[in-house]
Amino acid sequence: MPTANDSHYYNFIKPLVEVKPSILYVVNSSEEYIDRLATLGLKMVEVYSEGWGPCYSVLPTLKRIKIEKDPDPACFQHNPCCAENITELEASIGLSKPLFLFYRNGKLMEKIEGPNTPAIERAILEHTPVNPEADDIEENPFYLQKKEAAKAAAQAAKEAAK
């Protein structure tokens, strides 16, 4: 079964990951998923089922965007995610076609089912901010959720220390 960590997949996406800074970040856990979405910029979450693997057909489009537009990784990131590894994506387990979720500053902007490369390219170009400061991190619901969790953990540690 192909995964985003396979060497064949990596060889195919080399231009996206070897040119630093990279726009591709493979997400392997729920914690990483929340961490990625708790940042500024556009996150294209590619949800795939373990049995089908990540979508190769969108990679040439992403390579072209990387070469032509050279987006700042703080403004755009491609995040392949295996639905079986991430609690928040369990509804996509077993689907044969990928699901592309576009989050900007933690808010779902668009959802595209299947490898519709023209729609994916349009969504990337339409929703990618001009610079990282275009969004306010304090409006990001994932950031606020992490902030509250950290505050609660600190309070619990303080209470335990008494």
Alpha-carbon gap, residue 129 to 42, rounded angstroms: 7
**pTM, 2 dp:** 0.83
CATH T-level assignment (fold) for domain 7-161: Glutaredoxin (3.40.30)
Which sequence spans correspond to the domains of the chain? Answer: 7-161
Give the three-class secondary structure for 106.
Answer: coil
For the chain, how big is the Rg over CA atoms in Å? 17
pLDDT of residue 133: 85
Give the three-class secondary structure for 67.
Answer: helix
Alpha-carbon gap, residue 39 to 132, rounded angstroms: 10
Structure tokens at 6: 């396979």
- CB-based contacts of 41: which residues, under 8 Å, 6+ apart? 72, 73, 74, 75, 76, 77, 104, 105, 128, 129, 132, 135
Identify residue 105 by its one-letter amino acid code: N
pLDDT of residue 17: 52
pLDDT in tens, the chain (162 residues): 455 555 555 555 555 555 556 788 899 999 999 999 999 999 999 999 998 989 989 988 988 888 888 778 888 999 999 999 999 999 999 889 999 999 999 999 999 999 999 999 999 999 999 888 889 999 999 999 999 999 999 999 988 887
